[in-house]
Amino acid sequence: MSTPPNSKCTIYMTTVLILSCMKFVLATNFYRDFDILWGNGRGNILNNGKVLMLSLDEYSGSGIQSKRAYLYSRIDVQIKLVSGNSAGTVAAFYAGSEGDNRDEIDIEFLGNVTGEPYTVHTNIYTKGKGDREQQFQLWFDPTTSFHNYTITWNPSMIAILVDGTPIRVFKNMESSGVPYINELPMKVYASLWNGDQWATRGGAIKTNWTEAPFITWLRNYKARGCVWMNGQSACNSRSSKAINHDWYKQRELDLKGNELLKLVKRRHMVYDYCNDFNRFPHGVPQECHLNTPI
């Protein structure tokens, strides 16, 4: 039996409404969710859209950009990093806006000399200003299997997690004069590129191009978030289901999460901008003085 025209219209509008509220991207499909941004063939989507391969050689790296932009989201992806001697390489997974006054939430994996731990370099840009780097050494080998990396961003806080363990939290401190990411929509990016000017031991160890091509793998990408459509966030609507989700409502870590965060900082943090008094001789940034985990 054919569907009446009015019913077709209703079905279509209901589908659009569901997508605009965007509570979950159900399954990984890199064909559907991303565009290959650069690399001239060095980025490849495989296995019917389920797997992404990024590669780097002496001529170029590669990168992708999500088709959707969000104003608040929880983003998960599983990554297997460059194995062997990866010194000089940088694999990045981050959310970012466009323009000079960009906002970004950065996770960058700094390559290592064989046998040394990978360093996770994190940074948070607000209104075009970064300088909020924190670095951690991973407590496992991220090259032998996939591990899950998460960015949670809501009106109250930003959290970065590794296999469910929080390694960094940046709270909304606008009431104390610290800018927060809450105005510009951000897309999701992943890339693999040559950063041997700074990535490994401050640039002392250069990329060994005889080891190329270097390869990073991504799978199981999921985005739960407030899609940016027609100049506004879907979560501006009171009917949006996303605003009832735990990731959106979370104002701070729970007791277990705070204990894990303290443990990671104590055992695995290797750099914190809030302790770099040589870099900030006139005083560290304001948020470093506030009684909140950052």
H or E, element range at 10: helix 5-21
Least confident residue range of 205-214, 265-274, 282-291: 282-291
- What is the 8-class DSSP label of residue 116? S
pLDDT at 28: 77
Task: In whole angstroms, give the CA distance from residue 41 to residue 44.
Answer: 7
Residue 133: what pLDDT? Answer: 97
Q: In 6-88, at which residue ranges do the beta strands (DSSP E only) sit?
A: 34-38, 43-46, 51-56, 62-80
Percentage of the chain with pLDDT > 70?
87
Q: Is pLDDT above 50 for 13?
A: no
242, pLDDT greater than 70: no
Half-sphere exposure of 3 (CA within 13 A, CB side): 8
Active-site residue, 183 included:
no
Q: Where are the domains of the chain?
A: 22-286
Which pLDDT tens digit goes with each residue over 190-224? 999 999 999 999 999 999 999 999 999 999 999 99
Sign, CA dihedral 233-234-237-240, equals negative
Catalytic hit among 104, 116, 133, 211? 104
Q: Which of 157, 158, 189, 184 minimizes the C-alpha distance to 101?
A: 184
By C-alpha distance, which of 80, 37, 78, 84 is closest to 60? 37
DSSP of 246-284: HHHH--S--HHHHHHHHHHHHHHEEEEGGG-TTT-TT--
What percent of the chain is modeled with pLDDT above 90?
81
Chain segment 121-168, per-residue pLDDT in tens? 999 999 999 999 999 999 999 999 999 999 999 999 999 999 999 999
CB-CB contact of 101 with 108 (8 Å): no
Phi and psi torsions of 192, nearest 5°:
-135, 125
Distance (Å, whole) CA 218 – CA 109: 13
Asked whether residue 255 carries a pLDDT value surpassing 50, the answer given is yes
pLDDT of residue 2: 38
Residues 105 and 122: their CA atoms lie apart, in Å, by 8
Q: What is the pLDDT of residue 24?
A: 44
**22-286: CATH class:** mainly beta
Does 287 participate in catalysis according to the annotation?
A: no
Decide which of 21 and 94 is more confident: 94
Q: Which of 58, 98, 108, 252 is flagged as catalytic? A: 108
The rounded mean pLDDT for the chain is 89
